Structure 1
Amino acid sequence: MNDDNSVFADARVPFPDAAYATRASNRLVEALVPGTGLGTLTPAIAWSGRVQGTDAPRPFRDITGLIVSGGHDGDFAYADDPADESILTRLAERAGVSLRRLETVTGAAAETGPVLSEDQYLECLEIGKQAADASIDSGADLLVLCGLGPGTRTAAIAVTAHLTRIPPVELSPRLRLPGGVIDDNAWMRRTAAIRDAFTRLGGPGRKAQTMLTELGGPVMATLTGIIVAAAIRRTPMLIDGPVAAAAALVSRDFSLGAPKWCYAPDRIPHPVVERVAGQTGMAEPIGFGVDVGEGCAAMQAIPLLQQTLRLFDELPFPEPEPEPEPEPEKETDDGAAADDETVEDKSED
């Protein structure tokens, strides 16, 4: 458990029970169907069984999306416009997902100094914790996370590169702007900003507070608070893009169990997402690699996830074998003999 802050200092994050993933998968093999089962949808069954704690997972009842918006100053956000949430909002409506929006501060330029003060860092964690708790208290049994804002993807690349010791250029795909324009100049400006931030940071420190105050910024800090708080309360989360994925990677500093409650049923084809999925042992996706904005792939995959769980619930399975009735105890003379010995012992006394 990370002890460099007071928000989660005494919290314990449980692991979801991996045995239920195996049991749910094994149960699926026993289904009385003519074919081979649910194919590439099987990982969703295994993950759902794991986080629901059952070998017969059901569709989630109440899903809430938490949209965290903010941004960065400096070249992390060079040529990066504020996100258009219209597609995300429509997909959420069609999927039956209620949305909560969280606005954060704008982080400072990472190439010249820390992006957050310690007080801002703790405030972001607290905002994330309160949002997760409020959603769960309102009945949510599944959360969908997305982080939006100028510079947030560059911050995700920087954090993931620093935590995994992978050169940032290997985690930075060519930069495509709206309209299909490839902007190599913006890519170089952002990559240079990451390099300068690493030079300024200067050390191998990989604690959550260091990562989030020096590189990650307010959106990622808030998402990290959500992930840890929801994991503490055994509530699963869906992610899909690099910002939420990087936050899941940071959450391991609080507990290795925190990112185990996250799943990307569909993944934006971004190197950060692929790296985090491998680092955290995330279940395989069931989607098609939708990339139209952070959060959209998860929203698009929710109807498929729910339908998969309904189908699993409707499959015919063999009746469980009745447990054998216990055999009646046979009468013996042992008790009488014991009594006789007791009597004899007493008589000798």
Structure 2
Amino acid sequence: MSDGGVNLDDFGDLIERPSARLRRQAEERRARVGVPPKALGRLDEIGAWLAAAQGRVPVAPIERPRAVLFAGDHGIASLGVSARPPGGATALVRDTLDGVSPAAVLARQAGVPLRIVDLSLDCHADELPADVSRHRVRRGSGRLDIEDTLTAEEAEQAFRTGMAIADEEADSGTDLLVLGDISVGGTTAAGVLVAAMCGTDASMVTGRGGLHIDDLTWMRKCAAVRDGLRRARPVLGDQLRLLGAVAGADLTAMTGFLLQCAVRRTPVVLDGVVSVACALVGQRVAFRAPDWWLAGHASGEPGQAKALDRMAMEPILDQNVTVGEGTGALLALPLIRAAAALAAELPEADRDVDVAT
């Protein structure tokens, strides 16, 4: 529990695992389908996971997915830890709103509504549509190496905002959520969270970012993660204080979003190192929560790989996609939809037919 009004201990009581009974029923039904066992590979596993998450056998098709991208700028970017300029996330948001970013193209191609939530972009709020900026907590997050990225009040506000967005999506009938981020400096904050949670040092979690950085920039980024880690370790036992210390408003909101999605029994597809780092914090809050999340892809970031290993998650895709912004998770969506369709529509075979041949 934190000193704020959010009692993180409640999530441990509120979050239940997807139904193991229905997962077994889905696996038993799959065994009666006229397709040889293991012939569909990972799709069978995803189909059974969906049955447990949906609470029904056979699985229902994925009909109302939605991508939610949390946006923010991080003060640590002023140290030159990114190939993008400090405050550059606003331009990325505009590209997505204009439909010219990779995530926007993929979402449009898949017929998936895409929602952007500004938590801490470094621009005037009125420069963006009201539905994007209405949840803003502050303009930019603090420098995680020398100061808290958020005040205690801002951390609680951001966390509650993430919870509220999860409730809005669940109430609207969304049946699968794709989670991503649009940030500059966000992978540095994510690296601090992963290193703190996994008890490792900065060099083991510091990657090259979505826009590849050179060796000198990597060294600056690694030093920033190291300095942030010194500030994170003393508050590791209080996850809300940890988020306020080093995560910024966008990552704090994403953590609240993931936990509340688990409360509302709404499955989520994770994207790169930022969303996976938030998931790792969420696991520390409520150990059952990761059962509601799928790892969409391997981004190549060492911090993401370490966090996924800690949560025993295997990414669906590994295509060397490093662009971020929900792109890798959106690429995984057609496979998840295919798994649902196969689990729902393949007929059970005649009992006299040997499906193993």
Q: TM-score range by the shorter chain?
A: 0.7 to 0.9
Look up the equivalent residue of 1:159 and give its one-letter code: L
Q: Which amino acid aligns with 2:246?
A: L
Q: 1:280 to 1:176 in 2, by over 3 A?
A: closer
Matches within 5 A, 1:121-140: 121-140=155-174
Task: Render the CA deviation track for 1:77-120: whole Å, top value 9, x for unaligned.
Answer: 63342353311111111112112211112111111111111011
User: SS state of the match for residue 238, structure 1?
Assistant: strand
Q: 1-side partners of 2:287 and 2:3: how far apart? A: 16
Q: Is residue 336 of structure 2 the alignment partner of residue 272 of structure 1?
A: no
Deviates more, 1:263-272 or 1:65-74: 263-272
Verify the 8 A CA contact 2:65 2:174 in the aligned structure 1.
yes
- Take 1:47 and 1:227, find their aligned partners in 2: how far apart are those partners? 17
- Determine what percentage of the aligned residue pairs are the same residue: 29
Query: Which residue is 2:75 aligned to?
Result: 73
Aligned match for 1:160, one of 194, 211, 216: 194
1:102: which partner in 2? 117
Q: Relative to structure 1, is the Cα distance of residues 18 and 161 closer, same or farther in structure 2, using a 3 angstrom cutoff?
A: farther
Q: Distance in 1 between matches of 2:314 and 2:25?
A: 15
- Alpha-carbon distance in structure 2 between the residues aligned to 1:250 and 1:25: 31
Q: CA deviation at 1:55?
A: 4.0
The residue number in structure 2 matching 1:293 is 324
Q: Give me the whole-angstrom Cα distance separating, in 1, the residues matched to 2:210 and 2:264.
A: 39
Aligned equivalents of 1:277, 1:54: Cα separation in 2 = 27
Q: Please report the TM-score for the alignment, with normalisation by the length of structure 1.
A: 0.82
Which runs of no fewer than 5 residues in structure 2 stay unpaired?
A: 121-139, 353-357
Unpaired stretches in structure 1, ≥5 consecutive residues: 322-349
Deviations 1:13-62 (Å, cap 9, x if unpaired)? 22222343344234323321367531232221132122112342222221
The amino acid of 2:141's aligned partner reads: G
* Distance change >3 Å, CA 222–CA 309, structure 1 → 2: same
The residue type paired with residue 124 of structure 1 is A
1:15 equivalent among 3, 8, 17: 17
Q: What letter matches 2:116 in structure 1?
A: R
* Cα drift, residue 190 of structure 1: 1.2
- Decide whether the 8 Å contact of 1:287 with 1:301 is kept in 2: no
Which residue of structure 1 lines up, in the alignment, with residue 182 of structure 2? 148
Amino acid at match of 1:248: A
The number of residues matched between the two structures is 317
CA contact (8 A) 2:80 2:217 kept: no
Name the residue aligned to 2:124.
none
Partner residue of 1:50 out of 35, 52, 55? 52
Match of 1:344 in 2: none
Tell me the alpha carbon deviations over residues 256-298 of structure 1, each in whole angstroms, 9 at most, x when there is no partner. Answer: 1222211123332222222222222335525645333231011
Structure 1 residue 144 displacement after superposition: 1.1
- The equivalent of 2:346 in structure 1 is 315
TM-score by length of 2: 0.81
Range 59-68 or range 261-270, more displaced: 261-270
Mapping for residues 168-179 of structure 1, pairs under 5 Å: 168-173=202-207, 175=208, 178=211
Counterpart in the other structure of 1:37: 39
Is the contact made by 1:249 and 1:276 (CA closer than 8 Å) also made in structure 2?
yes
Conservation of the 8 A alpha-carbon contact between 1:265 and 1:305: no
Q: 1:19 to 1:273 in 2, by over 3 A?
A: farther
2:112 counterpart letter in structure 1: V
Partner of 1:282: 313
Rate the CA distance shift 1:319–1:155 in 2: closer, same or farther, 3 A.
same
Q: Distance in 2 between matches of 1:302 and 1:102?
A: 21
- Whether the 8 Å contact between 1:235 and 1:261 is mirrored in structure 2 is yes
Structure index of larger Rg: 1
Maintained 8 Å contact 1:142/1:237: yes
Instruction: Tell me the SS of whatever aligns to 1:14.
Output: coil
**Residue 93 to residue 318, structure 1, CA distance change in 2 (3 Å):** same
CA contact (8 A) 2:210 2:323 kept: no
